[in-house]
């Protein structure tokens, strides 16, 4: 089973850049999207249904902002929007499907790059999300969390760690949270298969950052430890350019 997570930075924008043709060629079983930036009334599911997908979206209340989606060829037993927190749910940050024993949570963590106020929101989100996931695992122990975490875990995950040591997305307290998260029983599926450096999933639009591969790895598919023997492969599709992010892929038995 192939799972892809992709921050598309606007679904309609990506559709204008060949996204549908890419999706048809890749044919994942489950596609988790972040920053869809489309409302329920403006979303057209037909092109995706024509490719065999059931489509579920959880948009933000604010127009043109945030929002997540899951397109799936699995028929879910349950679909859950949000994580029971009014602020984060209004911002359209989490959507989960349960299919048999497996749960897949699509997530889009807040960014703190706009200033101290949003950085504080981000840190509060991290605390809440950690507790939410711990409780969820008691009910749904086989869990994949796929999405844009807006944090680089380690120095290998960012092109210039020293310059960005106190930049949002690479702050010591954010990296410590990532370490705590993975140590709590999750596998970073990309790093499980790919220990090499210079592998990034997001690049600034400025200064030809993507062409120079001056990027950040902030997009992850995390799997609970009990799925380790079912992991087949993981990669990032850095050549795919519908967005400032690239797709991240994981295959499991």
- What would the pLDDT profile of 138-167 be if each residue is shown by its tens digit? 999 999 999 999 999 999 999 999 999 999
Mean pLDDT of the chain: 97
Number of neighbours of residue 86 by Cβ within 10 angstroms: 8
3-state secondary structure (DSSP) of residue 128: helix
**For the domain bounded by 2-252, which CATH number is listed?**
3.60.10.10
> What predicted TM-score, i.e. pTM, was given to this entire model?
0.98
Catalytic residue among 89, 98, 116, 148: 148
Is 78 tagged catalytic?
no
Task: Write out pLDDT tens, residues 34-83.
Answer: 999 999 999 999 999 999 999 999 999 999 999 999 999 999 999 999 99
Closest CA to 149 of 183, 117, 184, 179: 179
Closest CA to 15 of 36, 1, 30, 32: 36
């Amino acid at each position: 089973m192939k799972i892809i997570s992709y921050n598309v930075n606007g679904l309609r924008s990506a559709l204008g850049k060949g996204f549908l043709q890419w999706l048809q060629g890749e044919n994942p079983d489950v596609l988790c999207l972040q920053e869809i930036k489309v409302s329920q009334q403006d979303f057209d599911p037909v092109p995706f249904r024509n490719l065999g997908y059931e489509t579920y979206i959880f948009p933000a209340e604010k127009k043109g902002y945030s929002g997540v989606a899951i397109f799936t060829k699995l028929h879910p037993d349950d679909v859950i929007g949000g994580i029971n927190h009014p602020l984060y749910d209004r911002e359209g940050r989490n959507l989960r499907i349960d299919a048999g024993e497996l749960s897949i949570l699509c997530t889009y963590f807040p960014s703190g790059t706009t200033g101290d106020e949003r950085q504080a929101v981000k840190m509060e989100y991290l605390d809440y999300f950690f507790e939410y996931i711990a409780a969820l695992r008691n009910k749904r122990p086989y869990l994949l969390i796929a999405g844009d975490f807006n944090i680089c875990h380690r120095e290998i995950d960012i092109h210039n760690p020293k310059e960005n040591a106190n930049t949002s997305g690479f702050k010591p307290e954010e990296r410590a949270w990532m370490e705590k998260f993975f140590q709590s029983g999750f596998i970073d599926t990309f790093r499980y298969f790919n220990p090499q450096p210079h592998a990034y999933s997001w690049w600034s639009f400025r200064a030809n950052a993507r062409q120079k591969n001056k990027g950040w790895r902030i997009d992850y598919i995390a799997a609970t430890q009990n799925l380790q023997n079912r992991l087949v492969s993981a990669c990032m599709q850095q050549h795919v350019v519908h967005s400032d992010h690239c797709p991240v892929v994981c295959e499991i038995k």
